[in-house]
Every structure is written in C-alpha cells, then in structure tokens.
C-alpha cells in the first residue's frame, strides 16, 4: 500500500523528469524502505536511454540529485533527505523543457 510520503517522492520525481523533458515511461524508478538499514532508497532501475540527448539530460538530472553515476543512480537516506534532494534538483531545472527526444 502506498503512503503519502511515497506518493510525494514519486510526484516530485515526475515533476523533475518533466522539466528535463522526460515522460514517466522514459525510465523506471522505485522508492522503497530498506529495512536492513532503516533508510529509504530512490533508485533508477532503468535509466533513460535511446539517444545522446536523452542520455545527457538523464545524466544532468541525476547529477542535480547528487548522484554520481547515471548507470547506478540511487539516493538513500531519510524521507526528508530524499524529498529535500528532489526539491533542490527541481529548483535547478528549467521551468519548460526543451523538445523531447
């Protein structure tokens, strides 16, 4: 069952992605609790790919989130930490995305 925090994270992620010119089906991301560590994990399981422009935009988006490697992009911490990272990345993103590729 989804809770309000999970919905908030995924909603913010979709807003960030839209600002970068992505549709939700351009990549696969999950948000889950890592019970072993007691933290949450936002993970891009399938990064955006298909052409150089899409891959460059995806790399920029994950860098704005504080992730270093677009091929193994994941963010872990408290729900507050992850939401704050999404808010910062949204603030760094253009209001209107360029054309989709």
For residues 31 and 3, give the distance between their C-alpha atoms in angstroms, rounded to a whole number.
11
Torsion of CA 42, 47, 48, 54, to 10 degrees: 100
pTM of the model: 0.85
- Give residue-wise pLDDT tens across range 8-26: 999 999 999 999 999 989 9
Residue-range domain boundaries for the chain: 4-92
pLDDT above 90: residue 101: no
Mean pLDDT of 59-82: 87
For residues 14 and 23, give the distance between their C-alpha atoms in angstroms, rounded to a whole number.
8
For residues 76 and 70, give the distance between their C-alpha atoms in angstroms, rounded to a whole number.
15
Q: Is the dihedral of CA 5, 65, 13, 25 positive or negative?
A: negative
Compare 57 and 99 and report the one with higher pLDDT.
Answer: 57
Instruction: Give the pLDDT band (50/70/90) at residue 99.
Output: low
């Amino acid at each position: 069952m989804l809770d309000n925090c999970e919905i908030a994270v995924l909603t913010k992620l979709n807003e960030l992605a839209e600002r970068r010119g992505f549709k939700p089906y351009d990549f696969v991301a999950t948000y889950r609790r890592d019970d072993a560590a007691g933290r949450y994990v936002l993970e891009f399981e399938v990064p955006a790919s298909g052409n150089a422009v899409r891959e460059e935009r995806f790399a920029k988006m994950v860098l704005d989130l504080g992730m270093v490697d677009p091929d193994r992009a994941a963010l872990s911490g408290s729900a507050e930490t992850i939401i704050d990272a999404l808010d910062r990345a949204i603030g760094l993103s253009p209001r209107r995305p360029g054309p989709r590729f």
